[in-house]
């Protein structure tokens, strides 16, 4: 781990409190990784190690739920570093994964952070490279949209009113009994029908 960035949300609103730190990984930086986040060996050389920041980080996190995109990936790095410092791992029960939320809400769509920013109109024009604190700020806005947007109160009110609606039970309408109408042909009608048949010239049933 070379960087971590966190912002605090209370009732889905940023409070302005943040935590941001770079770490010296005590190993060389692969070129492919540097091209993603722009953090070179020279930049990280004078940064503190993770264990020198860990108490500050844990104090910031407290026991709050932790929102992350593809959270299991991030938790893997975080828990590895915590383990090397002799600290207990962060339990998965605290994990809120916006990737899983996006997949449930928008099945079949693209679910990258960039794609979700585009979907919800979150400005990411200043995101040139992957940066932990910037990504946390963007993700906070995406998380708010994934969980109902700024007008979540309206959505909750609709849900509450929906639960109060009684089920409509189908009840068949009662109808008065009426006896069947007479439908047999009278003797006169039968005689007229017979006379009509006899008047036909070469009917097919007589062939």
Catalytic residue numbers read: 130
C-alpha gyration radius of the chain: 37
39, 28 Cβ separation under 8 angstroms: no
Residue 165, judged by CB atoms within 10 A of its CB (0-12, 13-18, 19+), counts as: exposed
The answer to whether the beta carbons of residues 19 and 41 sit under 8 Å apart is: no
Specify the residue for token string 């990784």.
33
Structure tokens at 5: 């960035």
């Amino acid at each position: 781990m070379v960087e971590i960035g966190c912002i605090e949300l209370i009732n889905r609103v940023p409070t302005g409190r943040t935590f941001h730190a770079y770490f010296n990984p005590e190993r060389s930086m692969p070129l492919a990784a540097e091209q993603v986040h722009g953090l070179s060996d020279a930049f990280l050389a004078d940064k503190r190690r993770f264990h020198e920041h860990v108490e500050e980080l844990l104090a910031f996190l407290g026991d709050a739920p932790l929102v992350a995109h593809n959270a299991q990936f991030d938790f893997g790095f975080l828990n590895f570093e915590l383990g090397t410092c002799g600290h207990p791992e962060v339990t998965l029960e605290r994990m809120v994964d916006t990737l899983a939320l996006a997949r449930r809400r928008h099945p079949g769509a693209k679910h990258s952070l960039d794609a979700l920013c585009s979907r919800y109109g979150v400005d990411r024009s200043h995101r040139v490279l992957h940066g932990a604190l910037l990504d946390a700020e963007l993700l906070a806005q995406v998380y708010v949209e994934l969980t109902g947007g700024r007008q979540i109160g309206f959505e909750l009110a609709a849900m509450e009113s929906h639960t109060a609606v009684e089920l409509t039970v189908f009840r068949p309408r009662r109808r008065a009994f009426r006896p069947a109408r007479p439908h047999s042909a009278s003797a006169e009608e039968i005689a007229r029908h017979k006379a009509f048949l006899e008047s036909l010239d070469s009917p097919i049933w007589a062939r």
